Structure formats: C-alpha cells, structure tokens
Structure 1
Amino acid sequence: MSDRRSESPAVSRIPPGTQADIDAHQGWALVCHDPAGGPDVSPGRGGAPLDLLFVHGMAAGGWIWPAAWLDGFTRQGHRCWTLTLPGRAGGRSVTRDPSVLERAIGHALNTGDLDGASAMLVRALPGASLFDGPTLDDFADAVQQAMARIGHPVVVVGHSLGGAVAQLLLRRGVAQAGTVLLASVPPYGTWRASAEMAVTNPALWHALSQFALHGAARADMALMRRALFPNGISDRDFEALMAGMHDESLAATVRTAGLPPFAPLPGPRGDVLVVGGGADLLVPPADAWMTAAYYGGAPLMVPRAGHMIMHDPHADAAVTGILRWCAARAGRGARAA
C-alpha cells in the first residue's frame, strides 16, 4: 500500500493552537480522509462504499491509524474518518509530566492561590483519572457527536478500548451502517483475558498495569513492544507511536473489565464483524471467538497478527476481510432500497 493519503481539514471541537490547554483536552477531534479511488458515487447512497469511522484504543489518538492502513480503504472508494477521543480534565499525571510540580509551585507563588495549586497536584496524582474521567460514556458521547457531524450512518471500527465504545453505542441503539470490533475488548469485559495473563504471563500483566497507572514512564516498554508487535516494528515507528501516547482515564478503562455492562445483550447480529489476531496476547484468540459467538457469528482471524493489527505486516488480510464485509453490507442496503 502507498503511504500517501488524501486528508481533508480537521473537523474539531478543539480550537487551533490550544492543544495544551485543559479545556482542549476535553474536546474531540475528527479528520476526514477522502476516497482516492473506487466508484464515483456519493456517500450514503445505496450500494456506494460505506464511510468508516475509526475509533482508537487506550492512550492513543486518531494518529494511531497508519497511512497504509487507511489507503487500503480510501483506494476502494471509502471515505474514512479518524477520531481522537477526549482526554482527561487534569491532563498528564506527574509520572508522565514531572513539570506539573513546578507549575503548581509557580501558580502558588505568583497568585497566592494555595487551593488551586493543591488541586493541580491532586489532579496529577497517578490514579486521579479514576475520579475526573472521562468515562466510557463520555467517549460514546463524543463518537455520537462526531457521527452527527458526519451526517449519515457509518461503519464504526473500534480497536481495543475503542471496541468497548463501539459496543456501548450498540447498547444505546445508535444507528450505524455496521460495527467492526478490531482486537476489541470482549462484550463481557477484559476480566477473563486479564486473569489468564496474570497466571501465564505475569511480567506482561505487571507492565500493562504500570502503563495504565503511570504511562510509559514506569512500564517495561521493551516487553510491551514485543507483546504488541510480535512480528516486529521499526525503532522509528515505535518511537513515533510512543511519543504520541497519553495518560488514559482509569474511569474508562476500569469499566472495560465488564461492570457495569457496556455491551448489548447477546444475540445474532449481522451488523457486527469481529476481527482478531492469532498472536494477540492482550485479547487472545479465545476471546475473539467468544466475542463473535456472543454476536452470533465467527470471527475473521488474522493468524499471525498481534494486538496492533493495523500496524502488523499481515494487516492486508484484515483490510481485505473488512472490505468484503462492507461490500456485502452496502449491497444489502442497495437491495433493500
């Protein structure tokens, strides 16, 4: 696939130049990637290639989707949208951004506002995001607002944590052209996979726990690199991905354990496609199969792919499977019309 893509201006609630502000962290950002090939038809028309809205996983943003991955869809006529979910109100924790201590002291000295300085420090404590959010519901709200901005039904492609958000939209009954769960949190939560990892791979379980609580500053990133990218990734690409990672809200990630429920009731759903990686250590193949069974089908398995399927050398197999599924969905829509 080519590394070039057509990218339209961002449609965003984040004002330009304010990415470092706390208020901006509470916004979401949406970028449109226009079709670069395929049939010349208008979006939303029966039989036309469906629009795809990509929702990222934990600690990431819309930038996580590689150009080659998106090109696989835009060159077949699909308009793609990449969404960055809102961040936490307190910004980064002190383990990821030690300068917060200097800012709090400076605020106290310059303004005499000791309460405000204390609040800054409290918000920066590891684990504070369990209380200041955003929550999984906040993420789902952001996706709904983005879908309203797009203006017509889209296929929501949710990766990992983004898959939990996509399932919460299904639980809410939000109209979609379809849902693709890509290495997704299972509908019953992460408890089974987490318990398995704690027994069979305690070092990785500890590294992921440290990453969730402290970010990359305290986690064994070499171990996580091997787990997330079992087929390898270049130093340059890995460093670029890690540079973009941010502190994730524990209020959202804790709920992905399964309580309270975030998924719809089990039952056959032709509008859900489950895609799993055969070498995924975070969402093992067993969970991909159980997720597909929950929705009354079988998963599309990419045998040697890891958790970051879109960055995997075998990503083309996933793209091809999703394209075929989308074509079938669009064809059914055209016949119904």
Structure 2
Amino acid sequence: MSARTGRVRILRGREWARPVRPARRELVSALPELEEGRPPLLFVPGFGHGAWAFAEHWLGHTAGRGFPAYAVSLRGHGGSAPAPEATLRAYVHDVTQAAASLPRQAVLVGHGAGALVVAHALARYPARAAVLVAPVLGGWGTLGAALRHNPAGTVPAVFGGPLRLTRRQLFSPDLPDPQARQYVARLGRAGRRAQWQLLAHRAPEPAVGAPPVLVLGSPDDRVVPPAALTRAARRYGSAPLLFPGMGHDLMLDARWPEPIDAILDWLAKA
C-alpha cells in the first residue's frame, strides 16, 4: 500500500517492485555566456520528435536570454536508445531522471504528447514551474481531432502502426515548404504501447509543490483544438496563451520567436 502525505504519494509500490529499465538518453544543451543563477529549462518533445526540434531554434534563443537550456529525447526518439515497446511510464521516468541530473531545480517544458509526459512527471519531480506547449493530453477526443484532419495518417496508429503527422497539421503556410518537408522527414515514432496509453491514459496525479503552470498554443492548431487548450489551462487555474496563425509545432514554425519569448517573459515574473 502506498503511503501518502496529503494528496502526494511518497511511495509507489509498483515502481519499487517493477522499476523502469534504464535507457541511454540524448540530452542536448545550450548555456548562457554569463551564469546568472536562473533556473534551467528542460524541453520535452512530443511523440515522433527528438531534442533536435528544440535545438533548431529555442535552445539557443533561451540561452541568449540568460537561461540554461536543455532538451531530452525520450527513449526511442532522436538520439536516445531504441525502445519500440516503450510506455508512457518509461517516458515519464526519462524526464524525471533528466531533470534530476540538472544543476538546479528545473522548469519543465513539454510539447504535444510531451506535455502529457511533463504533467505526469510533475507528480514525481518538484519543478520550479512548467509550461505545456500545444498539449496533447490524451483521451478519445484527441483521436477524433486527428481523424478529422489526418485520417490516412491516424488510422494505422489505431491498429498499432505509426502515427504520421502532415505538414498541414504541424506548420502554418508561412513556413517555406522545403523547410517544412525537412522537418517532417525527421519525425520518428513513439512506442505502440505509448500510443495506446495516450488514448486511454489516467489523469496525472497532483504536482509536487503546486508549481505555476503556463499553457500555450494556437487556435489554428490542427492537432490540438482550442477547446482542448482551454480545458488544459483550466486544470491549472488559468487561461491559455494563444498564438493565432501558427501550427502545432510552435518551436519550428515561421514565427517561432514569439512563443519562446512569451515563455521566458512569464518565467521572469513567475
């Protein structure tokens, strides 16, 4: 039986009895020229993406504004070890371990399904704050939106195949086609068990220490509908910060500086 203090678990029997197997993790970083003691940001990409999605723009920009910046590739993604049978629990383990390895209490920033991973990690890691970017928080509504906008790429995932996202889902028309195609070509796939768990997931436990949480996205996102952004923000007692005209991959889209500057401005006041 798990012991509890208030609503926060301090002992999880399953994790003690059946620990997650370790896996080699890719962790990339960009550090400011002058150390000012600001909290590090750990960026967590969504399914199919790796640390490269943040290394393209946001890591260097974050470091340029004085914040240490790190991005982790979940197992089976990017340069991390292959893991075709990875579970959502294993992804959460990757994030908490990466965060614990940083020199100071970190801010967790999750994108897409990586936001769901962050939401679960907050119950295990005492984050300084958290940011959920275009959060895919699971449930059958997520599947419905995906089927409407991309049936050919979504149906195989229902039967254990890869989920294939399209240029139209991920980016605005403002991003040049050659660049968009290059990004789409780099996408990998999540473990099939993790894909199923995304649909039939359990709600995250309460965050340790009740850190401030910012939710942001685009009302024109073809992966996450506006109503889902509102629901996610309400869970944390706020309203979503919106960037009209952008696609799902805000960190790679044409106007990528706007969301990251908003995040860093918010952190300066949080």
Question: Which residue of the partner structure matches residue 82 of structure 1?
Answer: 71
Residue 31 (structure 1) aligned with residue 28 (structure 2)? yes
Question: Which residue of the partner structure matches residue 247 of structure 1?
Answer: 189
Question: Which residue of the partner structure matches residue 213 of structure 2?
Answer: 272
- Per the TM alignment, residue 171 of structure 1 is displaced from its structure 2 partner at its CA by 2.9
- Per the TM alignment, residue 270 of structure 1 is displaced from its structure 2 partner at its CA by 5.5
Closer/same/farther in 2, CA of residues 196 and 67 from structure 1, 3 Å limit? closer
Matched-pair contact (CA < 8 Å) for 2:57–2:256: no
For 2:46, which of 57, 69, 73 is the aligned residue? 57
Which secondary structure state, in structure 2, belongs to the residue aligned with residue 163 of structure 1?
A: helix
Q: Which amino acid aligns with 1:33?
A: A
For 1:141, which of 93, 96, 107 is the aligned residue? 93
Max Rg structure: 1
TM-score, normalised to structure 1's length? Answer: 0.65
- Counterpart CA distance in 1 for 2:231 and 2:100 is 32
Q: Which amino acid aligns with 1:148?
A: A
- Per the TM alignment, residue 230 of structure 1 is displaced from its structure 2 partner at its CA by 2.6
CA RMSD of aligned residues (A): 2.8
- Counterpart CA distance in 2 for 1:239 and 1:134 is 27
1:206-264 Cα shifts (integer Å, max 9, x gaps): 32333685448xx5x6xx111211334334423432343223102112212243x1423
Q: Which amino acid aligns with 1:141?
A: H
- Counterpart CA distance in 2 for 1:157 and 1:148 is 15
Question: Which residue of the partner structure matches residue 204 of structure 1?
Answer: 150
TM-score, normalised to structure 2's length? Answer: 0.80
- Per the TM alignment, residue 328 of structure 1 is displaced from its structure 2 partner at its CA by 1.2
Closer/same/farther in 2, CA of residues 60 and 68 from structure 1, 3 Å limit? closer
Matched-pair contact (CA < 8 Å) for 2:221–2:247: yes
Which secondary structure state, in structure 1, belongs to the residue aligned with residue 70 of structure 2?
A: strand
Question: Which residue of the partner structure matches residue 21 of structure 1?
Answer: none
Displacement over 6 Å in runs of 4+: none
Q: Which amino acid aligns with 2:108?
A: V
Closer/same/farther in 2, CA of residues 297 and 90 from structure 1, 3 Å limit? closer
- Per the TM alignment, residue 265 of structure 1 is displaced from its structure 2 partner at its CA by 4.7
- Counterpart CA distance in 2 for 1:41 and 1:145 is 23
Q: Which amino acid aligns with 2:141?
A: R
Which deviates more, 224-233 or 287-296?
224-233
Which secondary structure state, in structure 2, belongs to the residue aligned with residue 263 of structure 1?
A: coil
Residue 286 (structure 1) aligned with residue 241 (structure 2)? no
Higher helix share: 1
1:123-153 Cα shifts (integer Å, max 9, x gaps): xxxxxx4xxx211111111112112221321
Q: Which amino acid aligns with 1:306?
A: G
Structure 1 unaligned runs (5+)?
1-24, 44-48, 93-128, 330-337
Closer/same/farther in 2, CA of residues 90 and 245 from structure 1, 3 Å limit? same
Closer/same/farther in 2, CA of residues 239 and 304 from structure 1, 3 Å limit? closer
Which secondary structure state, in structure 2, belongs to the residue aligned with residue 70 of structure 1?
A: helix
For 2:263, which of 319, 322, 328 is the aligned residue? 322
Which secondary structure state, in structure 2, belongs to the residue aligned with residue 65 of structure 1?
A: helix
Q: Which amino acid aligns with 2:71?
A: T
Structure 2 unaligned runs (5+)?
1-21
1:54-77 Cα shifts (integer Å, max 9, x gaps): 111111211112533323311110
- Per the TM alignment, residue 323 of structure 1 is displaced from its structure 2 partner at its CA by 1.0
Within 5 Å, give how 1:198-237 maps onto structure 2: 198=147, 201=148, 204-210=150-156, 213-215=160-162, 224-237=166-179
For 2:249, which of 301, 308, 321 is the aligned residue? 308
Matched-pair contact (CA < 8 Å) for 2:25–2:81: no
Closer/same/farther in 2, CA of residues 264 and 59 from structure 1, 3 Å limit? same
- Counterpart CA distance in 2 for 1:86 and 1:296 is 31
Number of residue equivalences: 245
- Per the TM alignment, residue 196 of structure 1 is displaced from its structure 2 partner at its CA by 4.3
Question: Which residue of the partner structure matches residue 257 of structure 1?
Answer: 199
- Counterpart CA distance in 1 for 2:183 and 2:212 is 31
- Counterpart CA distance in 1 for 2:81 and 2:96 is 24
For 2:108, which of 128, 136, 156 is the aligned residue? 156
